[in-house]
Structure 1
Amino acid sequence: MSRYLLDKFLYTVDRDPDLVERYREDPAGTVAWWERERAGQLLNCLVSERTTWLAFTDEERDALVRQDHVALFQLGAHPFLTLTLFIAMFERDHGPLEYQKAYGRAMQHLSLPYPDIAT
């Protein structure tokens, strides 16, 4: 499991409006493309250095494709990263603060100790 890679996906997709829309409309295609093309790039670096060892586990990939913020949190993804990305993708489908409240309700069943989200 790579908390780093999950957070990197959420962070980089959230910062690109075109990727936000792509992930909203085609999660499986976006996850596969991002893992193949972007996972190995250094974060916030324009140099063409790459690594080849980073990959999602099947469980991580599945949670990303399903856009399941609860499963992502349970896998160690930072909740602020999922919240900001998912607000960008889904808030428009709901009234004021409805999505944020639903996000919180979906996580109510979780109890301490939470997954480690230290940065």
Structure 2
Amino acid sequence: MTKYLLNKFLYTVDRDPSLVERYRDDAQGTVAWWEANVANALLNGHTGEASTWQRLTDEERAALTGHDYVALFSLGAHPFLTLTLFIAMFERDHDEPLAFQKQYAARLAHFDLPYPDIAT
């Protein structure tokens, strides 16, 4: 698994409002674009250096393209990264305050301690 790359996707997309909207509207296209153009670049805008070997697994790609935060959590994605990104994407679809956060908690309620390892 590539938890680092998975978390890097969540981190970088969450910090760019245009990418949040792009990911909400076209998850498959955004994931493919990000993997081809951003995945192997250094974090925080550094240029001139890049890696060439990192790739998402098919399972990670499917979870990302399906907006499946339960699968992402089970794969070891950091829960704060998934929560903040998915709040930005889907809180607006709910009328009640904290409705999405409650849905998120309910869908993850079946996990028992110890949770999946989030170390990268």
TM-score tier (shorter): over 0.9
Question: Is 1:16 the counterpart of 2:16 in the alignment?
Answer: yes
Question: Is 1:33 the counterpart of 2:29 in the alignment?
Answer: no
Q: 1:117 aligns to what SS in structure 2?
A: coil
In the TM superposition, what whole-angstrom CA distance separates every residue of 1:48-68 from its partner, at most 9, and x where no partner exists? 211010100000000000011
In the TM superposition, what whole-angstrom CA distance separates every residue of 1:28-73 from its partner, at most 9, and x where no partner exists? 0000000000001001132221101010000000000001111001
In the TM superposition, what whole-angstrom CA distance separates every residue of 1:91-113 from its partner, at most 9, and x where no partner exists? 00012100000000000111122
> How many percent identity over aligned positions?
68
The offset of 1:118, in angstroms, is 3.4
Question: Is 1:67 the counterpart of 2:79 in the alignment?
Answer: no
Q: 2:43 aligns to what SS in structure 1?
A: coil
Deviating runs (4+, > 6 A) in structure 1? none
1:40-79 equivalences in 2 (<5 Å): 40-79=40-79
The offset of 1:21, in angstroms, is 0.1
Distance 2:72 2:48 in 1: 29
Q: CA RMSD in A?
A: 1.0
The residue that corresponds to 1:101 in the other structure is 102
Gaps of 5+ in 2: none
Q: 1:59 aligns to what SS in structure 2?
A: helix
Distance 1:14 1:93 in 2: 18
Q: TM-score under structure 1 normalisation?
A: 0.96
> After the TM superposition, which of the residue ranges 39-48 and 54-63 deviates more from structure 2?
39-48
Paired residues, what number? 119
Distance 2:83 2:60 in 1: 17
